[in-house]
Amino acid sequence: MKKNQNKQFAFLLKAFIPAFLALLPLLAAGGGMSTSAKASPPEAKASGSAETLVLRVYFKDNAERDRLAVELTAEEAATTGGYLTVLSDRAGYDSMAARGLKVEIDQAETRVYNDLSRKAQVDPETFFGSYRTVEENYAYMDSLVAAYPTLAEKVDIGDTWCKTHPGSCTQPNSYNGYDMYVLHITNRSIAGPKPVFWFETGIHSREIASPEMATRFMSQMLDQYNTNPDSRWLVDWHDIWVMPHVNPDGHHVVENGSSTPRTQRKNADKNDGCTAYPPTNSSQFGTDLNRNFPFKWACCGGSSGTPCNLTYRGPSSGSEEETAAVANKIRSLIPDQRGSSDTSAAPITTTGIYQSLHTYAALNLYAWGWTTSAPPNVTDLANIGKHMKATNAFPAGNNYTTCQPPSCLYAVDGDSADWGYGERGIPSYTTELRGTSGGFFPPFSDIATLYNENKGMLVYMAKIARTPYLTTRGPDADSFPTTLTVSVIGSVQLNGRINYNWTGNSYLQNVAAAQYYIDTPPWAGGTGVAMSATDGSFNSSTEAVRATISGVGLTPGRHVLFVRGRGVNSYSGFQSWGPVTGVFLDVTP
Ligand code: 0X9
Ligand code: ZN
C-alpha cells in the first residue's frame, strides 16, 4: 500500500507520539490502564491511577441478571457461574458493593487486562500491532477487486452517521465519516439467482478481531479460487457478501487509541443526548447498532433507553444509518420467508444465511435473543449451530458453545440475528470469537489462530446457504482429495466418506446414497453419478464411498466435481442431501 501524505501524518501521530506517551505510565509507576489516552489531559484525568478491574457481579435470578447486564454493561462472558463479568474501576466496585451487590475482583483477569507487556508496537499503516484501519480494509477490498475483477465487486450500501451529518464528528479528530462497503464475491460469468451468505463483522467496533476474520475469509474465497475446490464452487455458484465494518465510525475512534485501542462499542451518533468522550466501559456516545435493528426493538428489557449506556438502543427502531443500510441491503437480496407471528416457522426450503461476528465469549448464538422461548425453527437453528461447533464435522467447527442467548448470556432485543431470523426467516447467528489473552484487544499474533478455528464454520455456512434448514439434515462429504488427475484415455478412483456422525447432530441416521456431478451441479440441472459404499452396503451413519471416473470424453483441462451424500430419511418430501464438497479433476491430454 502506498503511503500518501495523510499516511505520513498518521505515521507521526500514531507512531511517535504514543511511543513517547506510552512511557509516561511506566515513569509514573502508577501502573493502571495505559491508553494513548494519556495524550489528552481530560482522559488522563478520567483514568488517572484508577486501574480497570474485572469484576464478578453475582445475581439472584435471571431477571436480576438481565437488569444488571444492561445497567452495568456486562461483558459477553458466560453467565453460567451465577455472575456477570463487568469492567469497572475502584469507585464502581465500591458503589456496587455499597448497594448490596455481591461483587468480587477477578485478580487474574484484571492482571491480564492491564498487562502492559501486551502493548504491540505501532505500525504506521495499522493500529495495535498489525490490525488494519477502516481505510486499509477498504483499500484491501479494492486490491481484491483489481486482482479478481470478474469475481469481486465493492458495493457501497450507504453512508455512516458521520457522513450523513457532515461537520458533526470531531472526535478523535474532525472527519466526515465513511461509505459502508461490502465485498460481493461471486463469479459474474455464471448467471444467478444464487443463494446468499451474508457475513458481517465489526458492528461493535471495539471487538477488533472480528473484521480481521472478514478479510481473511475474502482471501480464502478469492486467493484460493484456483487451489481450493470449495472456494471455487462457492464463488461460482453462491452470492457471498462480506462486510468488514458495519460500524466504521466507531472503528475510527477505536483505532485512535493506538498503543491501546479505545473502547468505542457503539456508532458515533452523539445527537441523542450523550456526548461522553473518550469512551469508557460504562459511558460513551452513540447507539448500540446491535440493539437498533427493526425487529422487537426495545421489546423486552434487552437494551437500554439511556443514551450513554453501552447498550443504548437509539431513539427509534432502525434509527441509525448503519442499521438501516444493512437491513435494506439484505432485504434487497433475501425475501421475507417467515410469517409475522412469533410462532410462524420459516419453510424448510428457506434460502439465505446470516452471520454477524463479535468477540469474545466463544459462543455460537442463535435466535431468539429477546425471549427464552424457543424459536419455531429451533431444531434446525440449533443443528446448524452445533455443526458450527463440532470439531469432528466437515468443515471442522470452532468448538464454541452453541446456545440461545438468554440461556447462556443475557437477553438482547433489537439485534441483527433476531432481525435476520425474525424478519427474513433465515438462520442468523452471532458468533462470538474466543477471548484469547487480550479480551477485546487480543495481540495480533492471535488472529491467525482465531481465523483457523473459525474458517470451517464460515465455509459450512456458505455451503448450506441455498436451503440451510434442509441441508443441515444431510451428512457431510469429507476425506475427499483436493485434486484428482486423469488422462483422456484413462480412469481414476474417487474415494471419500459420507458422515452423519459428528458430535451433537440431531439428524443422525444411516447414510443411504452418495453421488458426484462433473461441472454442472445438481441445482443447475447436472446429472448425478451414484457412488458405491466401499464396504458393499449403505448401512451405517458413516460410510466410506468410491467411484471410478473415466477421462474418456472429457475436455483436457480443469473440471470441478461436486460430491454429496444423503441419509435414509426424507423431510416434507425432500431427500436429505448434505452440503457439497468440491474436488478438482484435472484431465490431461
Ligand atoms: O450483546 C451483544 O450484542 C452480543 N454480545 S457482545 O458482547 N459482543 O456485544 C450478543 C448478541 C446475541 N444476540 C443474539 N444472538 N440474538
Ligand atoms: Zn459485540
**Cis status, amide bond into 375, omega within 30 of 0:** no
* Mean pLDDT calculated for residue range 324-352: 98
The CA 534 to ligand 2 mean position distance, Å, reads 46
* DSSP at 290: G
- In this prediction, residue 135 carries a pLDDT of 96
The CA 199 to ligand 1 mean position distance, Å, reads 15
pTM of the model: 0.82
- In this prediction, residue 556 carries a pLDDT of 98
The CA 303 to ligand 2 mean position distance, Å, reads 13
Q: In a mutational test of the pocket of ligand 1, which residue from 284, 404, 432 has the highest number of ligand atoms less than 8 Å from its CB? A: 432
- In this prediction, residue 114 carries a pLDDT of 60
Confidence class for position 112, pLDDT limits 50, 70, 90: low
Verify whether ligand 1 is closer than 6 Å to residue 415 (CB atom).
yes
* Mean pLDDT calculated for residue range 555-566: 98
* Mean pLDDT calculated for residue range 463-469: 99
- In this prediction, residue 257 carries a pLDDT of 81
Cell of 151: 469475481
Q: What whole-number distance in Å separates Cα of residue 497 and Cα of residue 544?
A: 4
Verify whether ligand 1 is closer than 6 Å to residue 358 (CB atom).
yes
- In this prediction, residue 463 carries a pLDDT of 99
Any idea which of 51-65, 123-137, 430-444, 493-507 has the lowest mean pLDDT? 123-137
- In this prediction, residue 111 carries a pLDDT of 67
Encode pLDDT of 395-413 as tens digits: 999 999 999 988 898 999 9
The CA 72 to ligand 1 mean position distance, Å, reads 15
In 259-290, which positions are buried (b, 16+ CB within 10 angstroms) versus exposed (e)? bbbbbbbbbbbbebebeebbbbbbbbbbbbbb
The CA 358 to ligand 2 mean position distance, Å, reads 4
Percent of the chain with pLDDT over 90: 83
Cell of 121: 508496537
- In this prediction, residue 536 carries a pLDDT of 98
CA distance between the termini of the chain: 42
Check whether 526 has a pLDDT greater than 90: yes
Confidence class for position 192, pLDDT limits 50, 70, 90: very high
Confidence class for position 159, pLDDT limits 50, 70, 90: very high
* Mean pLDDT calculated for residue range 202-216: 98
* DSSP at 273: S
- In this prediction, residue 461 carries a pLDDT of 99
Cell of 158: 450507504
β-partners of residue 294 are: none
Confidence class for position 75, pLDDT limits 50, 70, 90: confident
- Which residue in 23, 93, 91 sits closest to 54, CA to CA? 93
Residue nearest to atom 4 of ligand 1 (CA): 76
Residue nearest to atom 9 of ligand 1 (CA): 76
Verify whether ligand 1 is closer than 6 Å to residue 259 (CB atom).
no
Average pLDDT of the chain, as a whole number: 90
Q: In a mutational test of the pocket of ligand 1, which residue from 204, 356, 364, 378 has the highest number of ligand atoms less than 8 Å from its CB? A: 204
- In this prediction, residue 5 carries a pLDDT of 31
Check whether 76 has a pLDDT greater than 90: no
